[in-house]
Amino acid sequence: MPDDKEITIYDIAKHLNISATTVSRGLKDHPAINKNTRKKIFEAARHLGYRSNTFASSLRSKKTYTIGIIVPRLNSYFMSSVLAGMEDAASRENYNLIISQSLESAEKEVANAHTMYNKRVDGLLVSLAYDTENIHHFEAFFRKGIPVIFFDRVYSHTESTSIVIDNYAAAYDVTKHLIDNGCSRIMHLGGNMLRNVYSERLRGYKQALRDHKINFDEKLVFISKLNEEAGAEAARTILKMTAKQPDGVFAANDTAAVYCMMKLKETGIRIPGDIAFAGFNNDPISKIIEPNLTTVNYSGYDVGEAAVISMINHLNGISNVKTTHTIILRSDLIVRESSLKNKSL
């Protein structure tokens, strides 16, 4: 049978002939406690093998030191980097993470939000599902004053902070880069316009065209889920465009770009010679595909870290999610061969 006596602050108190209150205070560096007793308390705690009971503590203090996370999917390179950053930042501050995935479904996201609410997270970090149309399911949090911070796939709202990159500017730069490299018919592989990341990228794309006197052509926008299959499908669409095929493709993520490239390469189309390519995310596959894919790099790790830090600051009253509207992180255009039509490199 395993040993089973849990040591409590009362055991420590008895051991030292002081009160449990003092032990409680000593353990959490209360200012009004004698340095010496504090030291004794810690020694006794270590010696007796004490571990604090978070449940009793949460029950009483109403703080859980837990942050809820809702993401579309766990298994993408970007999102796992985000989580790595979150975990790092949270563990530094002794916060826990409860993680759930919406699997890109608004319905599941609603269920997850309820679960998080019932788990009494101190705050919630959300990146929205592909087809979420509103954020009613977070109302309960707003009403209770539980902070909600959106990251990457955000929703503009007066009660919450957003953590994003400047998708508009990044897309503008990508498109301009393609134009500078001799593209004049650029196709855009985009995602659901409900999501800021995709609508902003489309907007940046359009503006760059406009600024370079290129007419926007509806037919050159291909909206999809941006997965492997969608990339291949985009390629098939391009191949069917016998009349005036695009001479460049800007995809809103690397997966779609890469799978589109692979399909086109099979048919003998040369990249970037015939069609130049650029993606978004700097996924590991962008460095493997030949030619290597021009893309936009932004650190998932940094996004995750920023989200958690900003949440904890808010919880500590250092900042406020209502006043801080948006935090914009850096992103960089990474130029690789796939977009260099004029092989000047």
The total number of residues shown for the chain amounts to: 345
Contact partner, 290, from DNA, a second copy, none, Cβ < 5-8 Å per class: a second copy
Per-residue binder mask for a second copy (CB under 8 A), 196-235, x = binder? ----------------------------------------
Strands 332-334 and 186-190 come out as unpaired
Beta bridge partners of 309: none
Q: Which is nearer to a second copy, 4 or 218 (CB)?
A: 4
For DNA, which residue of 1, 29, 32, 136 counts as binding (CB under 7 A)? 32
Compute the chain's Rg from CA coordinates.
26
The residues in 46-85 that bind a second copy, with binding defined as CB under 8 A, are 51-56, 58-59, 64, 73-77, 79-81, 83-84
Closest by Cα among 266, 202, 218 to 239: 266
Closest by Cα among 254, 306, 301 to 277: 254
Closest by Cα among 245, 291, 247 to 265: 291
Shortest distance (Å) from residue 25 CB to DNA: 6
Residue 249 DSSP symbol: E
CA distances from 267 to 139, 189, 228, 243, 270 (A): 51, 20, 18, 17, 9
Q: State yes or no: residue 46 binds DNA (CB under 7 A).
A: no
Per-residue binder mask for a second copy (CB under 8 A), 128-167, x = binder? --------------xxxx----------------------
Q: State yes or no: residue 48 binds DNA (CB under 7 A).
A: no
Contact partner, 151, from DNA, a second copy, none, Cβ < 5-8 Å per class: none
Q: Which is nearer to DNA, 40 or 185 (CB)?
A: 40
DSSP one-letter string for 10-27: HHHHHHHTS-HHHHHHHH
Stretch that binds DNA, among 24-32, 67-75, 131-139, 282-290 (CB under 7 A): 24-32
Contact partner, 127, from DNA, a second copy, none, Cβ < 5-8 Å per class: none
Stretch that binds DNA, among 46-54, 104-112, 169-177, 185-193 (CB under 7 A): 46-54
Give the CB-side neighbour count of residue 318, counting CA atoms within 13 A: 6
DSSP one-letter string for 132-188: ----GGGHHHHHHT--EEEESS----TT-EEEEE-HHHHHHHHHHHHHHTT-SSEEE
- Phi then psi for residue 286, to 5 deg, are -70, -20
The residues in 56-115 that bind DNA, with binding defined as CB under 7 A, are 56-57, 59-61
Binding site for a second copy (CB under 8 A): 1-4, 51-56, 58-59, 64, 73-77, 79-81, 83-84, 87-88, 91, 96-101, 115, 117-120, 142-145, 258, 262, 284-285, 288-290, 300-301
Task: Give the interface with DNA as residue ranges (CB under 7 A).
Answer: 6, 8-10, 17-22, 24-25, 27-28, 31-37, 50, 52-53, 56-57, 59-61
